[in-house]
Amino acid sequence: MMRLSELRERLQRLNAEGFVPTERSGPTGIGHTLETRLGLSENNLPIPDIGGRVEVKATRSNTSNLITLFTFNRAVWKFKNKELVERWGYFDDTRDRPALYTTVSATDTNALGLQLSVSEDGNELFMTHVPTETLLASWDMYYIVGKFVTKFERMLFVHADSKIVDDKEYFHYDEAEILSEPSSLTFRDGFANGIVTIDIRMYLRPSGAARNHGTGFRILEQNLPRLFGKVERLV
């Protein structure tokens, strides 16, 4: 448990250190190094004077990475996963299997002919194969908005410059903010303007059975603050 004033002090001290070496190689190094340097044992932090637990997220300032907000598949698909891959997927030569891995947005039709749309009343989200006008999936907007608001009630969002020195990554954690008051309206509108997208991640096993890694609701890390009504700068 940590008070906000203590968190601010730790972040400011970390900022003053300049570039620090990663504690773990790979894409998760930035978050793991931040948690280690701040003395955190998990990626959500209890801060009682701002109302409860805070999700911790770190991002590299010089990259444009998508993050998964949450996944949701239950009772949304109009076809079995196997048929989805067979009819609208492709053959993955690298992994030698039929697959359907693709990002789908509402702002344009992707290479597989898929596109999102929002109902006129804003209550439903649809995924359609545009060339054949085939509805592949639909989501209850109230449910997915509720998933977002519940999971991301508060977030510590930390930015870091990164560089490679002698094949080792270094981070300078130079900005940090508390994001709160998640906006259900902005999240819903995020589909229509392309800020929030959906990733399909399916393939067929050699037996012919379908494997679904979860349908991910995704956003560029730098766009996360746009989904919140309040942003409090700490560093």
Query: What digits encode the pLDDT tens for the residues 197-210?
Result: 999 999 999 999 99
- Give the domain CATH number at 24: 3.30.70.3570
DSSP-derived letter for residue 48 is G
* Contact (CB, 8 A) for 156 and 58: no
As for how many domains the chain has, the answer is 1
Q: Which domain holds residue 179?
A: 4-233
Q: Is the pTM of this model over 0.95?
A: no
Least confident range of 6-20, 68-82, 83-97, 155-169? 68-82
Segment 126-154 shows an average pLDDT of 94
Q: Check residue 120 and give its pLDDT.
A: 93
Confidence category of residue 75, pLDDT binned at 50, 70, 90: confident
